[in-house]
Amino acid sequence: MRRLQLEMRTELQAPASKVFDFVADHTNAPRWQSGIHDIRRITPGPLRVGTEHELTRRFAGMRVVARNRFIAYEPGRFVAFEIPSGKMTGVASYLVEPTGAGTCRLTSNVDFHVGGLARFAVPLLTVIFKRDDEKALAALKVLMDHP
């Protein structure tokens, strides 16, 4: 197993509550994360610790089907979720902090463990993850900055 860690930040011209509500609802992911083709919530009720999703995405040329589960949830501020099984397992999170009247900062963190033959490609996978995150944050900026 090898670790893939990445932290990305972006400043947004939108209220923190709006940004958090959007990114914490993972069913919105296909609107701003180009690699995700399908995601559905598989637990009923409001978002909370224990909320689970199933998703299909393309990553590094591969089709990946995975599940995630919320392991921390602070409404309006922070959500962390784990991907408990697969070739890449680990934790990702979004932290949304107000920076002014109607503006905020989003910090995205990924801390994955990569197994199998893919562990030898962690440096390349890190570059791909960073590129994909930069595209996603740019798309989110457009969605949030220009309603």
The full DSSP string for 28-60 is: GHHHH-TTEEEEEE-S-SSS-TT-EEEEEEEET
What is the C-alpha separation between 57 and 79, in angstroms, rounded?
20
Whose CA is closest to 81, among 140, 25, 4?
25
Q: Superfamily for 2-145?
A: START domain (3.30.530.20)
Q: CA nearest 42: which of 20, 26, 57, 18?
A: 26
* In the chain, where the domains are located: 2-145
Q: How confident is the model at residue 37 (pLDDT cuts 50, 70, 90)?
A: confident
Tens of pLDDT, residue by residue over 76-114, are 999 999 988 877 789 999 999 999 999 999 999 999 887
* CA dist 89 → 10, 39, 67, 83, 84 (Å): 25, 18, 10, 5, 5
Question: Does the structure show a pLDDT above 80 at 137?
Answer: yes
pLDDT at 57: 78
d(CA 126, CA 15): 30
Compute the residue count for the chain: 147
d(CA 105, CA 108): 10
Which of helix, strand or coil describes residue 104?
A: strand
pLDDT, tens digit (0-9, with 9 covering 90-100), for 47-75: 999 999 999 877 666 777 889 999 999 99
**Least confident window among 5-19, 22-36, 46-60, 95-109:** 46-60
Q: What pLDDT was estimated at residue 86? A: 75
Our CA angle for 29, 30, 33, nearest 5°, is 70
